[in-house]
């Protein structure tokens, strides 16, 4: 049985990607959630003490398949695509597969302004924070503009409802971005907002969101914009 080590569902965008991919594809796995407590590698963090023996990065997600340990979300996605070829986790057409890999790699290395200024927080609704970010952070506006251009081109080319028609690794990879766009209520054209809604309606994504909201585990070091879970920043 595959084992997937993840962090808090409310905050861990990187964990969300392979979890949603596995769940949406119907691949069985055991989930091991390791609560974020501290990222200091000082011997006092339960998170680090649990994850560091598995992965040299000391980060989640980590996929364990027997004696094999795979870390890094893109490596995990590629491994799952190879292990379950009948699932067509990448698009079936060669050109589409190359395009999907390209946009996943772009997410992996890019969109740093959006990721840095809008941390994932599924249980929160932060439109006021989002409005300030949108006003004051041109790099965030540029990241969203790139997303809009990318997604619209793919939706037009493949006819929807998802980026490459059917669900693929690409949709799982951008699911946490959809969470950010929703949480901070960043402005989107109607067709892109509709795509975000369709991603949120996927069974695997809905389950992740429901379980994230049920955690009720406020971590102040993950939320510089809030003093408590009940007090959103203004």
What is residue 37's predicted lDDT score, i.e. its pLDDT?
86
Dump pLDDT digits (tens) for 31-48. 999 999 866 667 678 898
Contacts of 130 (CB under 8 A, 6+ apart): 118, 183, 184, 185, 186
CB 34 within 8 A of CB 51: yes
pLDDT digit string (tens) for the chain, length 234 residues: 999 999 999 999 999 999 999 999 999 999 999 999 866 667 678 898 999 999 999 999 999 999 999 999 999 999 999 999 999 999 999 999 999 999 999 999 999 999 999 999 999 999 999 999 999 999 999 999 999 999 999 999 999 999 999 999 999 999 999 999 999 999 999 999 999 999 999 999 999 999 999 998 877 767 777 755 654 433
Strand partners, 13: none
The domains located in the chain, with CATH, are 2-87 (3.40.30.10), 94-216 (1.20.1050.10)
Helical spans, DSSP H, in the chain: 13-25, 46-51, 73-83, 94-109, 112-117, 127-136, 138-158, 169-183, 190-201, 203-215
């Amino acid at each position: 049985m595959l084992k997937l080590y993840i962090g808090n569902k409310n905050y861990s965008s990187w964990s969300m990607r392979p979890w949603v991919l596995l769940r949406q594809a119907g691949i069985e796995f055991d989930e091991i959630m390791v609560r974020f407590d501290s990222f200091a590698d000082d011997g006092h963090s339960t998170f680090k003490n649990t994850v560091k023996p598995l992965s040299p990065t000391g980060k989640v997600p980590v996929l364990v398949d027997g004696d094999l340990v795979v870390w890094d979300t893109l490596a995990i996605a590629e491994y799952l695509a190879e292990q379950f070829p009948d699932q067509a986790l990448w698009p079936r057409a060669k050109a589409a597969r190359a395009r999907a890999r390209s946009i996943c790699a772009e997410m992996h290395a890019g969109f740093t302004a959006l990721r840095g200024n809008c941390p994932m927080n599924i249980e929160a609704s932060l439109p006021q924070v989002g409005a300030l970010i949108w006003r004051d952070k041109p790099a965030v506006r540029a990241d969203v503009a790139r997303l809009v251009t990318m997604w619209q081109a793919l939706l037009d080319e493949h006819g929807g409802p998802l980026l490459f028609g059917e669900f693929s690794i690409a949709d799982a990879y951008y699911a946490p971005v959809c969470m950010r766009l929703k949480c901070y209520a960043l402005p989107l054209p109607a067709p892109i907002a509709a795509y975000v809604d369709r991603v949120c309606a996927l069974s695997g994504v809905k389950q992740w969101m429901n379980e994230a909201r049920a955690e009720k585990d406020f971590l102040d070091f993950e939320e510089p914009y809030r003093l408590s879970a009940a007090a959103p920043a203004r």
